[in-house]
Amino acid sequence: MIRQSDGVSLSAVITPENVVFIEGTPSKEEAVRQLTERMLARVSGVISRKALFDRVAEVEKLNQVLESGFYIPHAKFPELDAFYGVLGVVPQGFTDPATGLKVKALILLLSPHKPAFFQRHLNMLSLLSQTFQPELIEKLAVLKDPAAAAALVTGK
C-alpha cells in the first residue's frame, strides 16, 4: 500500500541537546556507542538499556556508510511514537573499515516500528542523506557549538 507522503522535518529530530561532538578518532563502534548513550537518556522511559544497545548493535551490522561519508545507524522500535535522533560530529573523522570512507558526521535515528510510520521513516532517511552532503559535513566538522551545528543542519 502507498502510505501518505508525510513531510518530515529535521528540526524535530536534531536539536542542540541532541548533538554530540566526539573528539579524536574513535572506531565506528565507539562513535555509535557514544550516540546510543546520549539516546538512552531520551528514550529510557520506554526502551531498556539492554534492548536499545542490543538492537543498535544488531542493525549496525546491516547499516552502511553512504558514499558522501555520512552514516545513519537506524533502528525501529514498536514502543516509540515519534522519531528520535542524536547527531554525532567527529571533527577528525574515522575511517569506515568496510568502505574505506572517512566519516565525520553520523546520526543515530530511532523510528517507530509501525506500518503507518514506514513511509515517514523512508522520507526521513532520504531527507537526512540529502541534507548531509560533503560540503555540509565539512562545515559541521569545524564547528564547536552544538547549537550552531543544529542550526546549520536545520537551517534555523
Binding site for other proteins (CB under 8 A): 1-3, 5, 62, 64, 66-68, 70, 72, 74, 99, 118-119, 121-123, 125-131, 133, 136
The residue (of 70 and 83) whose beta carbon lies closer to other proteins is: 70
Q: How far is the CB of 32 from other proteins (least distance, A)?
A: 16
What's the Cα-to-Cα distance from 111 to each of 66, 75, 108, 117, 139, rounded to whole Å? 19, 6, 10, 8, 27
Q: How far is the CB of 45 from other proteins (least distance, A)?
A: 26
The residue (of 37 and 59) whose beta carbon lies closer to other proteins is: 59
Helix (H, G, I), strand (E, B) or coil at 100: coil
Helix (H, G, I), strand (E, B) or coil at 12: helix
The residue (of 52 and 72) whose beta carbon lies closer to other proteins is: 72
Q: How far is the CB of 132 from other proteins (least distance, A)?
A: 8
All residues at 6 or more sequence positions from 29 whose CB lies less than 8 Å from its CB, including other chains: 60
**Considering only CA atoms, which of 58, 89, 90 is closest in space to residue 74?**
58
What's the Cα-to-Cα distance from 89 to each of 8, 44, 134, 146, rounded to whole Å? 22, 23, 13, 9
Q: How far is the CB of 42 from other proteins (least distance, A)?
A: 22
The residue (of 10 and 39) whose beta carbon lies closer to other proteins is: 10
